[in-house]
Amino acid sequence: MERRTSTLALLCVVWSAVAAIKVDIPKDQYEFARGDNITLPCTFQSALSSPALAVVTWSDEANVIITYYHPNGVTDIKPEYQGRVSVDANVNGGTGKADLKLSSITMADNKKYECQVQIPRDNVGKDADTAALTVLVAPSKPICKIEGTASYGQNISLICYSEEGSPPPTYKWNSYDAQNNPRVLPPKTTAKEGTLSLYNITKETSGFYICISENKIRSASCNLTVTVLPPTMMNIGSTAAIIGAAIVAVILLIVIIYCCCCRKKNDDKENYAMAPVADEESVQNGEKSKHDDSSVNKAANPRDDYEERSERNYDRQSDYDDRRSDYDDRRSDYNDRRKDYDDRRSDYDDRRSDYNDRRKDYDDRRSDYDDRRSDYNDRRSDYDDRRSDYDDRRSKPGDRNERYDDERRYNDRRGPRSDDRDRP
Ligand SMILES: *[C@@H]1O[C@H](CO)[C@@H](O)[C@H](O)[C@H]1NC(C)=O
Ligand SMILES: *[C@@H]1O[C@H](CO)[C@@H](O)[C@H](O)[C@H]1NC(C)=O
Ligand SMILES: *[C@@H]1O[C@H](CO)[C@@H](O)[C@H](O)[C@H]1NC(C)=O
């Protein structure tokens, strides 16, 4: 009741005033760097010197971001903006303010904002104004590279690109010679969107190329070193590679041949090594014969010589026999292993036949099952026959009548008996 009277009183006050509101955002566009905490200003003039009620609404192109209610100071905030938005309002006085405060701005905040102030009884005039927020991002360090072959007479492109930057950065190329003196770019040069094209390049094209990527708030640069080589030099480069490969191949060949030779030589040496052994043997034999004292002169006795030789032959023979028995041993060893393998093979064959047996068993059982199945089908068809038989009987009403008649006859026969029962 009390509130109603106060509202009425307020309305009387409002009514008496001249109605004309004016809301204003001083600039059409605001620019801030990404991550900044910003304030978008909004001022208003009301015909009411001290409005008792006021509603401030800030919205983007689609939705209301925040609503502020004067005088109780209540705010309603859109969930996405919770915790990073507020209204700095001052409604008292002829000129009020209703600034929007937004913290840690991102690229997503890059849009238009509207400030609206509603005061009861002051609805004629301009109650809203808009401004665009441009979130700026410093250009990232540009990525620079050379496209094409840097050799005399060729055309090459120097590429420069910043991944980030808002507004999009502009690119500028500066060139320095090998002594780091600034120079004008060759006349047949085009620079467009960060790409510098150089035509019919020469030795003089070599040097340092600096790309500057720049936007409103900052700039970043890269430093590219271009070394132009004569085509013959480029060819020499590839030729050197081929020659190098050839040299390596030749060295390899030499090494291989050398190894083969060494091996052969070693074989020969082994052959040589056997000879002294034979000599030693003969010397020992000689000593032996000397100890035996069987003869004074070896050469003088051909018989001894013969015996000696036959003895040596015998030695060789026994040597041969040893090797032969060794070979026989290895052979029998091989036969053993072969037998072992045959055993395992027969074992495998046994298991295989076993498996075949089981398979046959399974096939038998399967055919048995098929028999039983056909049996079942027979019985089923039998059942179907009987069923169709029954259906036939059912469908013939005359039959039923017959049966009914039968029942009648039965009841007739029963009749006298029930009469009997009726009797006392
Ligand atoms: C922005 O405000 C947040 C608190 O809302 C604070 O933590 C941050 O340091 C501020 N950033 C700048 C750049 O002032
Ligand atoms: C390239 O430059 C050389 C001299 O540096 C000139 O002789 C030649 O004609 C030029 N070629 C073209 C296609 O411009
Ligand atoms: C570019 O780099 C070279 C060496 O890599 C250096 O001598 C030169 O001063 C650099 N130029 C600029 C402008 O940084």
Ligand nearest to the Cα of 187, by number: 2
pLDDT of residue 255: 79
Ligand 2 lined by 153 (C-beta under 6 Å): yes
* Per-residue pLDDT tens over the stretch 94-123: 689 999 999 999 999 999 999 999 998 888
Binning pLDDT at 50, 70 and 90, where does residue 162 land?
A: very high
Q: Please write the tens of the pLDDT for every residue from 279-334.
A: 444 434 434 343 444 444 444 444 555 455 555 555 555 555 566 666 566 666 65
pLDDT at 357: 59
CA distance 66 to 87: 8
Question: Measuring from atom 2 of ligand 2, which residue has the nearest CA?
Answer: 200
The predicted-structure confidence for 119-136, as pLDDT tens digits, reads as follows 988 888 899 999 999 999
Is the distance from the beta carbon of residue 418 to the nearest atom of ligand 2 less than 6 Å? no
8 A C-beta contact, residue 175 and residue 207: yes
Question: What pLDDT is attached to residue 387?
Answer: 60
Question: What does the alpha-carbon distance between residue 308 and residue 155 come to, in Å, rounded to a whole number?
Answer: 93
Q: How far is the CA of 33 from the centre of ligand 3 (A)?
A: 30
Q: Quick check: pTM over 0.75?
A: no
Q: Which of 13-27, 140-154, 241-255, 376-390 is predicted most confidently? A: 140-154
